A and B are shown apart, each in its own frame.
Chain A
Amino acid sequence: MTTINRPVVERESVVVKFVGDSGDGMQFTGGLFSESAAVAGNDLATFPDFPSEIRAPQNTIPGVSGFQVHMGSAKIYTTGDLCDVIVAMNPASLRSNLKWAKVGSTLLVDTDAFDEKSIEKAGYSSNPLEDNSLAKYNLIKAPITTLTRECLKDLGVDQKIATRSKNMFALGMLYFIFNRPLKPSFKFFDTKFKKDPTIAKINKVVLEAGYNYADTIEAIESVIQVSPAKMTPGLYRNITGNVATAWGLLAAAEKAKRPLFLGSYPITPATEILMELAKHKSLGAKVFQAEDEIAGICSAIGASYAGSMACTTTSGPGLSLKSEAIGLAVMTELPLVIVDVQRGGPSTGLPTKSEQSDLMQALFGRNGECPVIVIAASSSDNCFHYAYMAAKLAMEHMTPCILLTDGYLGFGSALFRDPKMANMPPINPPIAKANDPDYRPYKRDPKTLVRQWAIPGTEGLRHRIGGLEKENITGAVSTDPLNHQTMVNLRAEKVARVANFIPDQEVDGPQKGDLLVVSWGGTFGGVHSAVKQTQMEGKKISHAHFHYINPLPKNTEQILKSFKKILVCELNAGQFVNYLRMTYPMPSFYQFNKVQGLPFMIHELTEKFNELLESK
């Protein structure tokens, strides 16, 4: 490797996006680039941006696939709004992503892909590389396809395979631009293509050729240095929200000493949880891919009755299908974790885009008085913690718990410091003892109102439960009006008392004042960054980000009362704000909503904050 003979520019954080046709390997390239940033000690967050079609027509806008990496020497909270570098492998990907490019950002393009037909297919009337329309950017034009083929000539590689390796050439160029070593990727190729050393060799040759080529071109005037971030010591990995969710569930099952059962049906963007858990049979996980969403949750209810830590994973439309069965789990008071990786709705909506519009469905979308615990994760890595907590609360309180994540968290990744099982909080499900003469199906712990879990096969505890209303304590079928009222109250109060077992809500910034920004779930990164930025400008603004939604933390009302204005920001038409309004009626609520399948941009938020701060 040559030494860098150019000026080095130090940057605190950089957003890089790889875009190309669906078959161009952008996810793989982006993944490798993220690993290189992680190995260099940066904090990072990533997000894949791909269409729901597997292979849309080649070189068209619907066929564009992208992968965004936000890396930095300081804590990274979001996957980044606008990009500093965009690598575009064809005209369609350039055209559809140019709106995300900062003015002055670097655009690296494969000029070979800009033939007349592809330019036209992308919807350009003239070649954007020639018509001066990209003058605001630092355009690096490289004949990537040709150069890739050339560097593989001596290896006698098939033309098709050679062309397919062009993504590695582009990656090599980026490694030069960011002053990254090639070695970690070489090692990765050796492991990944162990069975096919030729493929490993091709990738290495092309990657190195791209690196060396970048060194020779004048368009790259300087290289960018992103220094290591200060991070808590420990073992780290890059993890997606969906994998973290799966691991959190596995960890909870092991801690509770209850076998894990997942009954689920594939649905974007939740499928990866099912796929991940299916890998871990060695940990005893039983994963049942059901014939539909309803069978997914019903099998989980059966498994829960039989003593498993049962869960089902889905997205919005699937949660709709599961509604009746959630009611059964509420009525039978069985533990059950329901993970909803939210996507754009209603109906099929925007399957690969993110939204927070299932909140009301999670809270209220069932027949009858049917309360469940609802909690939400706020980053790809803390999906682990909240999945663990969802399972802990469900088992210890004998009730379904809905965990809300979303497409951004699920598909996106962040750095995850591996925890030790010994440090995870204990989980003690209320399992009934064999031959307990006092056992009754609906007898409750007077403090928590939780009934016992009597597991089939246990001597002396035979009993029947079901969807019909049951008599308090005995569990006999009952249509008595007053008993029904009692049971409705008990089920509600049992969930309400979970508030005694969750942490108090925290406020970032002054504990009272003029403006409190409220957010929940997957928007933490953006809202936090926007609040920090506004605070840095010397303005008095505070932030409360909620993870526990039903029940709300006990100090919620106290916090809300301490501010003149409360601005609730969420990616829906105002679901959390209306939930707060009905729970704590007060005139101080304002709302900021966006329903575009996209996250908040930091400037959108700060503009809204300033507007409220300035108005009387």
Chain B
Amino acid sequence: MEYINTTVERTTVQLQKEDFESDQMVKWCPGCGAHAILAAVERVFPKLGYKKENFCLVSGIGCSSRFPYYVNTYGIHGIHGRALAIATGVKVANPHLSVWVATGDGDSLAIGGNHFIHTIRRNVDINVLLFNNEIYGLTKGQYSPTTPMNTVTKTSPHGTIEHPFNIGELVMGAQGTFYARMPDNDLTLMTEAMFESAKHDGTSITEILQNCIIYADKAHFNVTGKETREENMCVIRDGQPILFGHNKEKGLRLKGTEIDVVELGKNGITIDDVLVHDRYNPDPWIHMMLAKLGPPHYPKVFGIIRSAMFPTYDDLVEEKIRLAQKDSPIKKMDHLLKSGETWEIK
């Protein structure tokens, strides 16, 4: 089907980081992972080449959701859990805006879970930065839908008894077209994911493993920490074999319907046995398996895990309107008011 591909108007001048700095005081805790995410956004926005008036940031409630106040764009700080619904309205109303959502694991997966899956299912062209710190920060330390099983928090003094969401699995279960996972301690990787997210047509979910220094410090340490990252973090790139380890000596192999870890040079394993990442594959099966991996038996996979091409909701809205305007005799209200079953009384 032919559909409109709406574009964002481009700027003729080279924008700088300063063009997006707001005059508001940033009130996140010192050492919070959100500072790095803000720095990445300020790096990416000028690079995209869009006019600065064409960015719109939307958020819900939570630490992450103060984000719009700290970036000088158009922005709405909404209500708890509803950022994606508000952003859908912004994008459908004006598809020529570059719409971004800053949200947290509680905001988007607990109170906003319904909007999360439905926005993804529709593939509305929104870029979502999901700050996953596995805790409720702003309400001071209660467990969230991503808190690992048996974690002690303010509302689970004896350990949580809930199975956490794996965000990648949820995104793909909802027919997501873009999913990236990034650590908050790697500015380059974050910047790259945000840039690709902006380029992707459709709902893009970038999960950022963010550290809450106060209520869940080092929650991601077993993966992203200096000591563990080479063994437990596996950064994947499109078209390249999936390798990890100190000397990239380990790889992921597709064996039947499962993924296993192999070591190059052992048992006759060569680079050709290692799975090559195809982020554009429309079938989410392998993407889903990659998203589910994690310690102790596997590394956790980072990078752009999926970016498949499907029509976006907002483009299809424009297309339906264009076709209706072409075919319908009702071009303005006066036509509608004269249409249908009517009779004249003199």
Please give the residue numbers on chain A whose beta carbons come within 8 Å of chain B beta carbons, in ascending order. 35, 38-39, 41, 231-238, 247, 250-251, 254, 259, 261, 263, 280-284, 286, 288, 290-292, 294-295, 298-308, 310, 324-325, 327-328, 332, 418-421, 456-468, 476-477
Report A-chain residues with C-beta under 8 Å of the C-beta of B114. 291-292, 295
The count of chain B contact residues (Cβ–Cβ below 8 Å) is 60
Contact B331 A282 (CB under 8 A): yes
8 Å CB contact of A325 from B61, B68, B79:
B79
| Chain A contact surface mostly | mixed
Q: Which residues of B contact A300 (CB under 8 A)?
A: 89
Q: Is B340 engaged at the interface, CB distance under 8 Å to the other chain?
A: yes
Interface residues of B in 252-304 (CB under 8 A from A): none
Please give the residue numbers on chain B whose beta carbons come within 8 Å of chain A beta carbons, in ascending order.
Answer: 9, 22, 24, 51-54, 56-59, 61, 68-69, 72-79, 82, 85-94, 96-97, 114-115, 118, 317, 320-321, 324-325, 327-328, 330-334, 336-338, 340-346
Query: Is B53 a contact of A418 with CB atoms below 8 Å?
Result: no
Which residues of chain B are near A307, meaning CB under 8 Å? 93-94
CA distance A238 to B337 in the complex (A): 12
Cβ-defined contact, A457 with B54, below 8 A: yes
B336 near A250 (CB under 8 angstroms)?
yes
Q: Is the CB of B58 within 8 A of A302?
A: yes
* 27 residue pairs bridging A and B, Cβ less than 8 Å apart: A35-B341, A41-B345, A231-B345, A232-B345, A235-B342, A236-B345, A237-B340, A282-B331, A291-B118, A295-B82, A298-B86, A299-B88, A299-B89, A301-B89, A302-B93, A305-B56, A305-B86, A306-B97, A308-B93, A325-B79, A420-B337, A456-B54, A458-B53, A462-B73, A464-B22, A466-B77, A466-B78
Residues of A within 8 A of B85 (CB): 263, 290, 294-295, 298-299, 302
Query: How far is the CB of B154 from the nearest CB of chain A, in Å?
Result: 24
A328 vs B89: C-alpha distance when bound (angstroms) = 14
Which A residues lie within 8 Å of B82 (CB)?
A: 294-295, 298, 325
The residues of B that contact A283 with a CB separation of less than 8 Å are 330-333, 336
Q: B residues within 8 A CB of A236?
A: 342-345
Q: Tell me the complex Cα distance, A328–B115, Å.
A: 17
Q: How far is the CA of A259 from the CA of B317 in the complex (A)?
A: 13
Q: How far is the CA of A303 from the CA of B88 in the complex (A)?
A: 8
19 more CB-based (< 8 A) A-B contacts, given A35-B341, A263-B85: A236-B344, A237-B340, A280-B336, A282-B325, A286-B93, A286-B321, A290-B88, A291-B114, A295-B115, A298-B79, A302-B58, A302-B93, A304-B89, A307-B93, A310-B89, A421-B333, A457-B9, A459-B51, A462-B53
Contact A261 B89, beta carbon cutoff 8 Å: yes
Which B residues touch A231, using CB under 8 A? 345
User: B24, A418: Cβ atoms under 8 Å?
Assistant: no
Are B344's CB and A303's CB within 8 A? no
Query: What A residues does B340 contact at CB under 8 A?
Result: 237
Smallest CB gap from A237: residue in B: B342
What is the bound-complex CA distance between A570 and B77, given in angstroms?
40
Nearest residue in B to A420 (C-beta to C-beta)?
Answer: B334
Report chain A residues within 8 Å CB of B53. Answer: 456-462
- A478→B100 CA distance, assembly (Å): 24
Alpha-carbon separation in the docked complex, A235 to B338 (Å): 8
Q: Is the CB of B89 within 8 A of A235?
A: no
Q: Which of B9, B56, B89, B90 has the most CB of A within 10 A?
A: B89
CB distance from B175 to the nearest CB of A (A): 14
Closest Cβ–Cβ distance, residue B4 to chain A (whole Å): 13
Q: Would you give the shortest CB distance from B211 to chain A, in whole angstroms?
A: 25
- Residues on the A chain within 8 Å of B333, using CB: 247, 250-251, 254, 283, 421
Residue B345 contacts which of A233, A295, A325, A419 (CB distance < 8 angstroms)? A233
Interchain CB contact (< 8 A) of B92 among A35, A286, A291, A458: A286
Chain B residues within 8 Å of A238, by CB: 341
With A299-B89, A420-B337 known as contacts, the answer to whether A305 contacts B325 (CB < 8 A) is no
Q: How far is the CA of A294 from the CA of B115 in the complex (A)?
A: 9
What's the nearest-Cβ distance from chain B to residue A579, in Å? Answer: 27
- Residues from chain A with a CB closer than 8 A to the CB of B327 are 282
**CB proximity of B30 to chain A, nearest CB, Å:** 20
Nearest-neighbour CB distance to chain A for B285, whole angstroms, equals: 26
Most buried by A among B96, B327, B337: B337
Which chain B positions have C-beta within 8 A of A232? Answer: 345
What's the least CB distance linking A78 to chain B, in Å?
21
* A144, chain B: closest CB distance, angstroms: 27
**Cα distance, A263 to B69, chains bound together (Å):** 26
Q: Top 6 nearest A-B pairs by Cβ distance?
A: A302-B89, A466-B77, A282-B328, A299-B89, A298-B85, A281-B324
Closest to A422 in B: B334
**Bound-state Cα–Cα, A307 to B22, Å:** 23
Q: Is the CB of B88 within 8 A of A39?
A: no
The smallest beta-carbon distance between B315 and chain A, in angstroms, is 13
